[in-house]
Structure 1
Amino acid sequence: MSYRRLGFEFRMGASTIGAIVSETSDVLWEKLQPLHMPVPTRESFRSIADDFSKIWNFPNCIGALDGKHVRIRCLKLSGSMFYNYKQYFSVVLQALVDANYRLIAIDVGGYGKQSDGGTFQASNLYRAILGGKIQIPAPRTLPETNVVAPFVFLADEAYPLMDFLLKPYGRGNLSLEEECFRSRKTVECAFGILVSKWGILDKPIKADTELVDRRVKCVCILHNAIIDKDGMDHNYTETEQTRSDSSVMWNRCNRPSNDTKTTRDIFTAYFSQQPLEYRES
């Protein structure tokens, strides 16, 4: 519903309605974020990994990472930084999602022109990990093996391969690609749920970028609050309309180190040895 229509319903000016919406969004985020999207800890990451292993058969996974382009109206003097590869203006919602479609952490406001990998490396989440504010648990053994592997986020090819960030091979090994795809469905489904439930994300938002960021954060925290209250159906299936807008752009300067390649090889070997019925369960 537009501000104009709300103003007509409540006999207020559109600017007054806008101020109320903005203030309410800020209060909801301030009060609900500590309850429904707290800063993750080593203990909470281990619990998330247990859920991924139980629900999606992917051990040592502490979240699925992806970005979604949120449409905005063309901004004056914005240049081309908000104009994305899909040929519309947008800001990027970067989200780390758990096995139950909850948002572990978000970063809103990345330039639409940036790749997902570039947005991640400019995000507060990335800086918090590097700065030690968010601490990833120490490596642990993979199920029914004596192989020690690190805890990892799952991402697609648009992201750089890092010690804590796992992505499929560019081509070739199907076992790892299949498991990454299955487990990464959580973030794609989370974006699908957001778009289908909150109409503000289904059309260009007519506000400056600061207000867009605040409203998207509000929608995200309400998403978590609803899941925490009502639970979530793990059989949710995304549709073509609500799939995430993951960028295929890639900065080829981010070459993986030997250590990160070894991490990917460890998981590849693990999934290659799993029985077919285990991998499909």
Structure 2
Amino acid sequence: MDGPTYLELWCYPGDWTNYLRMDEPTHLELLSSVTPVVTKPDTCMRKAITPNEILTATLRYLATGRTLEYLKFSFRIAPQTLGKIIPDICEAIFKALRNYYKEGWENVAREFEHRWNFPNCIGAIDGKYVAITPPSGSGSYFYNYKNFHSQVLLGIANANYELLYFSFGTNGRVSDRGLFETSDLSKKLEDGSPNLRKEGTVAGKKYAVCANGC
């Protein structure tokens, strides 16, 4: 069993963040944003899966990289159904949040220096391997060095652990450098569209920005 079921989380608020990687108020705010998009009508055969169930299962999937077969025990949802609804709600989350978090790069750098004594940093970047069942005929295309098939979730966070950017879908064989180079963020840094100045000053210190591992 993959820990407590989502219903038990309401009884143990202290475990909420550990289980879903976000606190309850944030979860409820995100739920309110995606509910209109992912709500399905009940039928004469069965009741529809609720938006809360769908969102909680998706967050647990993204947080752990567990297989759909494994997650079915926590959420009582068939793996085939999870495979259909998780991409849908990920798209709904993206559309709901794409313009939600707007912050100047200089403010991000100031916060990193103030909180972590790390000047001229505009984001902490990392990737997460999400286990997948590879498409038929894909061979070793998605097979990573950890010996399982995956796609990579790339994220950039500010000094307060808040996500500024994410990208998902690159095959697990790609190196860290290759992962960044294939992201749309790398391309936007090259053409200047993120509004990030190539040179500037933060807290009296000069900085320079470059992309593609330079």
TM-fit CA distance, 1:19: 4.3
Q: 1:16 to 1:117 in 2, by over 3 A?
A: closer
The answer on 1:113 being equivalent to 2:173 is yes
Q: 1:20 to 1:74 in 2, by over 3 A?
A: closer
TM-fit CA distance, 1:16: 6.0
Task: Find the aligned partners of 1:20 and 1:141 in 2 and give their Cα distance.
Answer: 45
Range that drifts further, 105-114 or 70-79: 70-79
TM-fit CA distance, 1:21: 4.6
Task: Find the aligned partners of 1:139 and 1:93 in 2 and give their Cα distance.
Answer: 29
Task: Find the aligned partners of 2:157 and 2:197 in 1 and give their Cα distance.
Answer: 17
CA deviation vs aligned residue, 1:144-202 (integer Å, no higher than 9, x gap):
6xx5332579xxxxxx642xxxxxxxxxxxxxxxxxxxxxxxxxxxxxxxxxxxxxxxx
Task: Find the aligned partners of 1:32 and 1:25 in 2 and give their Cα distance.
Answer: 11
- Secondary structure of 1:62's counterpart equals coil
Q: Which residue of 1 aligns with 2:93?
A: 28
Contact kept? 1:46, 1:137, Cα under 8 Å: no
| Corresponding letter in the other structure for 2:77 | L
- The aligned length equals 143
Q: Which residue of 1 aligns with 2:72?
A: 2
Task: Find the aligned partners of 2:81 and 2:142 in 1 and give their Cα distance.
Answer: 28
Q: Which residue of 2 aligns with 1:88?
A: 148
> Which structure 2 residues correspond to residues 192-207 of structure 1 after superposition, within 5 A?
none
The answer on 1:128 being equivalent to 2:188 is yes
Task: Find the aligned partners of 2:183 and 2:98 in 1 and give their Cα distance.
Answer: 18
Where structure 1 has 5 or more consecutive residues not aligned to the other structure, the ranges are 8-13, 154-159, 163-281
The answer on 1:137 being equivalent to 2:207 is no
Contact kept? 2:177, 2:213, Cα under 8 Å: no
Q: Which residue of 2 aligns with 1:68?
A: 128
| Corresponding letter in the other structure for 1:55 | R
CA deviation vs aligned residue, 1:87-112 (integer Å, no higher than 9, x gap):
11111112222111112111211111
Contact kept? 1:61, 1:152, Cα under 8 Å: no
* Identical-residue share of aligned pairs (%): 33
Q: Which residue of 2 aligns with 1:54?
A: 114
Q: 1:87 to 1:49 in 2, by over 3 A?
A: same
Q: 1:142 to 1:102 in 2, by over 3 A?
A: closer
| Corresponding letter in the other structure for 1:6 | I
| Corresponding letter in the other structure for 1:89 | H
- Secondary structure of 2:170's counterpart equals strand
Task: Find the aligned partners of 1:56 and 1:152 in 2 and give their Cα distance.
Answer: 22
| Corresponding letter in the other structure for 1:48 | V
Contact kept? 2:198, 2:210, Cα under 8 Å: no
CA deviation vs aligned residue, 1:109-144 (integer Å, no higher than 9, x gap):
111111010111111110111122213235334646
Q: With CA pairs under 8 Å and 6+ residues apart, which has the higher RCO, 1 or 2? A: 1
Q: Which residue of 1 aligns with 2:164?
A: 104
Where structure 2 has 5 or more consecutive residues not aligned to the other structure, the ranges are 1-70
- Secondary structure of 1:6's counterpart equals coil
Contact kept? 1:82, 1:90, Cα under 8 Å: yes
Task: Find the aligned partners of 1:89 and 1:15 in 2 and give their Cα distance.
Answer: 18
TM-fit CA distance, 1:35: 1.1
| Corresponding letter in the other structure for 1:2 | K
User: Structure 2 length normalisation: TM-score?
Assistant: 0.56
The answer on 1:149 being equivalent to 2:207 is yes
| Corresponding letter in the other structure for 1:67 | G
Task: Find the aligned partners of 1:25 and 1:125 in 2 and give their Cα distance.
Answer: 19
Contact kept? 1:60, 1:152, Cα under 8 Å: no
Task: Find the aligned partners of 1:15 and 1:69 in 2 and give their Cα distance.
Answer: 21
Task: Find the aligned partners of 2:95 and 2:154 in 1 and give their Cα distance.
Answer: 19
- Secondary structure of 1:133's counterpart equals coil
Task: Find the aligned partners of 2:87 and 2:202 in 1 and give their Cα distance.
Answer: 46
| Corresponding letter in the other structure for 2:207 | A
